[in-house]
């Protein structure tokens, strides 16, 4: 990526060798498509699910489960594999705007 002769440094990037996961995101994750992912983080307002390297989406608390529950951790946990339905794709901002939990495996 860059050579700095004065500092005797070379900047390298493995990430730039990989294809950009957002280039054809609409084809891989069309609206209403069901996909499998892994819960990465559980927060007060929902949970984040990783669908592939570089692609995460938010499962808002309103899309986690029916009925009343105290915290999203009562429904899902970090590291758990889940099936989700893609509800919104915001490729310009590189995020899945919203996903809904379908089935907890």
pLDDT tens readout for residues 41-65: 999 999 999 999 888 888 988 888 7
For β-strands 81-90 and 55-60, DSSP reports them as unpaired
Question: What tens digit of pLDDT does each residue of 89-100 get?
Answer: 888 888 786 677
pTM of the model: 0.74
Reduced DSSP (H G I as helix, E B as strand, rest coil) percent helix, strand, coil of the chain, to 5: 15, 45, 40
pLDDT of 49 reads 93
8 A C-beta contact, residue 58 and residue 84: no
Domains of the chain by start residue, with CATH: 19-104 (2.40.50.140)
pLDDT of 76 reads 92
pLDDT of 89 reads 86
Which whole number is the average pLDDT over 67-86? 89
Residue 93 to residues 53, 57, 68, 86, 90: CA-CA distances in angstroms?
Answer: 16, 12, 32, 16, 6
8 A C-beta contact, residue 77 and residue 43: no
Whole-number mean pLDDT of the chain?
84
């Amino acid at each position: 990526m860059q050579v700095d002769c004065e500092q005797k440094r070379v900047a390298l990037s493995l990430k730039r060798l990989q294809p950009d996961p957002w280039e054809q995101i609409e084809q891989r994750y069309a609206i209403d498509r069901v996909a499998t992912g892994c819960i990465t983080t559980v927060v007060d307002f929902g949970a984040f699910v990783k669908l592939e390297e570089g692609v995460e989406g938010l499962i808002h608390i309103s899309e986690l489960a029916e009925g009343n529950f105290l915290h999203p951790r009562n429904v899902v946990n970090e590291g758990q594999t889940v099936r989700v339905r893609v509800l919104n794709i915001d490729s310009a901002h590189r995020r899945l705007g919203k996903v809904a939990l379908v089935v907890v495996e």
